[in-house]
Amino acid sequence: MTQESLTQDAFTLIHRFEPGAAARPLLLLHGTGGNEHDLLPLGRIVAPGAALLSPRGAVSENGMPRFFRRLAEGVFDEADLRRRTADLAAFVGAARARYGIGAPLALGFSNGANIAAALLMLHPEVLAGAVLIRPMVPLAEPPAADLAGKPVLMLSGAMDPIVPAENASRLAQQLTAAGAAVTHRILPVGHGLSQADVSLATDWVRGLALPDAA
């Protein structure tokens, strides 16, 4: 698997930012082969009026952007994952200072959902919560994070050929054990994004009672 890192510092990560009037911004994290534009329409639907921060993954796998390296399908380079997660945490901090936004709610799909889960476990202070669409366990031995009631929505596919049901359930258990308020829904779909995901994510975000984002 040919992979190439794209050199970025804390705030030169390629990204799109759309300002918004709503208190809680969204951090949009695309899947493998996506980019900073992919999830903007979804973000606008899920959280109308929210500021949208959408970075591009800084790793290239056969020309496809990703947020961290993998050794094979479903086998992650955990050393790289930890480093890229720290880089993403630094980027979010720099973006908050630059754009004057609060701690974001992550909305990640596939590879983006995996790094969002890693961000929750490794840097729990960075996110207000997360919507994880088709995530899997990012770390074989996750640290003892304190997620202190942070809201997390996990949306898994019953017919997902990439993420085993046991793996998704284990991630939900890990996040719950760390204190997160996890809602895990298993949909009759595969790995791709579905209209059911959009509807469930929209309703869930609308129903959140998050503290002030400042």
Active-site positions? Answer: 110, 160, 191
Whole-number Å distance between alpha carbons of 185 and 110: 15
- Residue 26 β-bridge partners: 52, 105
Residues in CB range of 63: below 8 A, 6 or more apart: none
Question: How far, CA to CA in Å, does 121 sit from each of 85, 178, 195, 198, 204?
Answer: 10, 8, 28, 25, 21
